[in-house]
Amino acid sequence: MAGVFVAKTTHATFADPQLAIDELSEATGLSTEDVLDALHELHGMVDIRHGHACPQDELYATFDKHWMEWDPAADALRLAADLLNDDSFPHEPAAVAARYQWSPRRLNPAIAYLANRNVIRSLKAMGSAPFTAVYISPTDATRRFVRSRS
């Protein structure tokens, strides 16, 4: 089920994409009841609103490693270390993406991985698209995160 969202997303942000339950049933070959059960298993990563499944950014932070060329956890460690150790490192996601030569589709799950685990401070605002945040910064938790994985 998660693979359908991973395959169809453009930017790996909240509700990207919004899929009707019957669309998921058709895409997976599962019955409506089985789709609802699968979505239940993804609790906290997919919300159901008005008959549509809306993925949270955590879905991509968790499942991209299975279908994409990158691992959001490894990308998150690189991002956290650079935020912490490089005084010239940018805090705006667009500038980070340019520095790494990553698309928003790749950067957003790394940001979500860190933000959802309270490892960085992530400022979200309307109009931040295609990024999940407008500003990210390290905290004491960032230092502990990097040290624990070094």
Q: Which domain holds residue 32?
A: 2-61
Share of the chain above pLDDT 70, in %: 100
Cα 34 to chain centroid, rounded: 25
Amino acid type, 149: R
Confidence of residue 126 (pLDDT cuts 50, 70, 90): confident
Predicted confidence (pLDDT) at residue 127 exceeds the cutoff of 90: no
Average per-residue pLDDT for the chain: 96
CATH code for position 100? 1.10.10.10
78 and 43 part of one domain: no
User: Using alpha carbons only, what angle is made at residue 10 by residues 64 and 100, rounded to the nearest 5 degrees?
Assistant: 65
Count: domains in the chain:
2
What was the pLDDT predicted at 150?
83
Packing angle between helix 57-67 and helix 72-85, nearest 10 degrees? 120
For 12-56, what is each residue's pLDDT tens digit? 999 999 999 999 999 999 999 999 999 999 999 999 999 999 999
80 and 137 part of one domain: yes
Dihedral angle of Cα 67, 71, 73, 79, to the nearest 10 degrees: -130
80 and 113 part of one domain: yes
Strand partners, 121: 137
Helices (H) then strands (E): counts for the chain = 8, 5
Residue identified by tokens 């879905």 is 59
Q: SS3 for 121?
A: strand
Predicted confidence (pLDDT) at residue 87 exceeds the cutoff of 90: yes
Question: Are residues 62 and 103 in contact, defined by beta-carbon separation less than 8 angstroms?
Answer: no
Predicted confidence (pLDDT) at residue 148 exceeds the cutoff of 90: yes
Confidence of residue 128 (pLDDT cuts 50, 70, 90): confident
